[in-house]
């Protein structure tokens, strides 16, 4: 294989090249190429992060994803829907701790109508007009369209009017239908996920793109996922960041070998090179821990994610790393970078 830096610079990486590079490239050369690209996009030695909270408004779900240890089926003990009082208390606490955003995600709850979501958004915006609502992953949007007998376009139009500001990339898992049929057979298809994002971008909403890997997919299918994101980003430019993390198998019905830190870092670097039209890549310290999060900053990542004042889904699998603002900033500084708080669209907070 010719010099990796030269190969990366010569032309846009194809899926076949990505496969070969992941399998054969020297780890340090791969990291160097990814880090060089990251520094080209962001020449200043800044690493960003956001202060927010992941609020799960409900865990009652008909999806039955095999990788999820958090959900409860309808009628099962432990199911909940947050009251407005509980929701407001969580948001107020987030704001008091310096939070600028809530990540509002729930489940495919068959008993919650579109009006529930509209009322929830409106009540949040009426009480907390400055909070940014980053909410409802594509499977939730598709589910709402199905039970409401409305189009995705109409669902998004109504949610935006009610106060939705942006959409997270949850529910992507692997954007290959063969894999989705195994791990989350009741969730939306690859094309449906992409269409929600395409429609959101047409409305002017910014969204993130995610990937949960290390379960039933092949390496080739991981690259198919990256290619689907790159193609849509070419069309719309609406993704602000790519956020990959490894599957955490404990306490779930989906058995798989937990990926090593090297496998995570290797794929993160490949993603930085392949996703040439994405400005930002996020380090996943929530699943990998703070020290691997620091290393990720030299393997292509330029963002340290969120303080996640609350996180339930990954924690339900038994993986539980927590960091506050001071911890995040110290980890970034120790890696030799300057920490800066940001908003969802990556504008900096002075």
Question: Read out DSSP for 252-306?
Answer: SS---PPPPHHHHHHHHHHHHHH-TT---BB--HHHH-HHHHHHHTTTT--EEEE
Mean pLDDT for the chain overall: 89
**pLDDT tens per residue, range 55-85:** 999 887 766 565 666 666 666 787 778 999 9
Q: pLDDT value at position 93?
A: 92
**Proportion of the chain above pLDDT 90, given as a percent:** 73
User: Would you state the structure tokens that stand for residue 127, as one six-digit string?
Assistant: 């009480």
Overall number of domains in the chain: 1
Residue 304: inside a domain, yes or no? yes
Position 198 pLDDT exceeds 90 = yes
Q: Name 49's Cβ contacts closer than 8 Å, sequence gap at least 6.
A: 303, 304, 305, 306, 307, 328, 329, 332, 339, 340, 341, 342
C-alpha 84/C-alpha 101 separation (Å) is: 17
pLDDT exceeds 50 at position 316:
no
Length of the chain: 350
pTM exceeds 0.75:
yes
pLDDT, one tens digit per residue, over 121-169 is 999 999 999 999 999 999 999 999 999 999 999 999 999 999 999 999 9
Where do the H-state alpha helices sit in 174-275? 177-183, 190-202, 219-236, 261-274
CA distances from 331 to 14, 247, 282, 290 (A): 34, 23, 14, 7
Is 49 within 8 Å of 328 (Cβ atoms)? Answer: yes
Q: For residue 197, is it within any domain?
A: yes
Long-range Cβ contact pairs of 258-265 (< 8 A, separation 24 or more): 258/214, 259/213, 259/214, 261/288, 261/292, 261/295, 262/27, 263/214, 264/288, 264/292, 264/296, 265/27, 265/31, 265/292, 265/295, 265/296, 265/299
CA distance 103 to 99: 11
| CA 251 to chain centroid | 21
For residue 222, is it within any domain?
Answer: yes
Where in the sequence is the domain holding 45, given as residue range(s)?
29-52+136-341
- Calculate ∠ Cα 135-132-291, nearest 5°: 80
Decide if 103 is inside a domain. Answer: no
pLDDT for 20 beyond 80: yes
Whether residue 315 lies inside any domain: the answer is yes
Specify if 60 maps to a domain: no
Residue 247 covered by a domain = yes
Asked whether residue 115 is domain-assigned, the answer is: no
CATH (domain of 159): 3.20.20.70
CB-based contacts of 279, cutoff 8 Å, min separation 6: 41, 42, 240, 241, 346
> What is the per-residue pLDDT for 81?
82
Alpha carbon 3 to chain centroid distance?
32
pLDDT attached to residue 72: 67
Q: What pLDDT is recorded for position 319?
A: 46
List, for residues 223-260, the tens digit of each pLDDT value.
Answer: 999 999 999 999 999 999 999 999 876 655 566 678 89
Residues 299-312 have pLDDT tens digits of: 999 999 998 766 44
Question: Could you report the per-residue pLDDT of 79-127, keeping only the tens digit for each?
Answer: 778 999 999 999 999 999 899 999 998 787 788 899 999 999 999 999 9
- Cite the beta strand spans of the chain per DSSP E: 46-50, 52-56, 101-105, 132-135, 166-167, 206-213, 239-246, 303-306, 338-341
């Amino acid at each position: 294989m010719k010099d990796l830096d030269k190969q990366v610079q010569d032309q846009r990486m194809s899926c076949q090249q990505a496969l070969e590079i992941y399998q054969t490239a020297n780890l340090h050369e791969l990291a160097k190429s990814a880090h060089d690209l990251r520094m080209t996009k962001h020449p200043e030695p800044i690493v960003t992060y956001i202060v927010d909270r992941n609020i799960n408004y409900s865990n009652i779900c008909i999806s039955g994803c095999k990788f999820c240890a958090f959900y409860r089926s309808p009628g099962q003990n432990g199911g909940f829907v947050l009251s407005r009082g509980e929701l407001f208390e969580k948001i107020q606490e987030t704001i008091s701790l310096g939070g600028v955003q809530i990540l509002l995600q729930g489940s495919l709850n068959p008993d919650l109508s579109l009006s529930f979501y509209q009322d929830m958004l409106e009540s949040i915006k009426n009480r907390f007009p400055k909070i940014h609502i980053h909410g409802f992953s594509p499977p939730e949007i598709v589910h709402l369209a199905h039970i409401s007998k409305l189009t995705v376009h109409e669902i998004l139009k109504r949610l935006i009017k009610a106060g939705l500001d942006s959409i997270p990339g949850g529910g992507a898992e692997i954007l290959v239908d063969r894999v989705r049929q195994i791990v989350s057979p009741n969730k939306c298809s690859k094309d449906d996920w992409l269409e929600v994002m395409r429609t959101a971008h047409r409305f002017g909403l910014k969204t993130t793109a995610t990937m949960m890997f290390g379960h039933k997919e092949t390496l080739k299918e991981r690259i198919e996922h990256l290619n689907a994101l790159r193609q849509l980003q070419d069309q719309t430019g609406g993704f602000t960041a790519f956020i990959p993390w490894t599957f955490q198998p404990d306490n779930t019905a989906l058995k798989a070998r937990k990926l090593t830190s090297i496998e995570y870092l290797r794929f993160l670097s490949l993603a930085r090179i392949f996703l040439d039209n994405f400005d930002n890549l996020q380090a996943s310290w929530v699943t990998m821990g703070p020290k691997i999060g620091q290393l990720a900053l030299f393997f292509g990542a330029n963002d340290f994610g969120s303080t996640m004042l609350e996180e339930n889904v990954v924690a339900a699998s038994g993986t539980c790393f927590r960091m506050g603002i001071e911890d995040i900033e110290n980890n970034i500084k120790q890696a030799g970078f300057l920490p800066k708080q940001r908003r969802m669209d990556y504008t900096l907070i002075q």
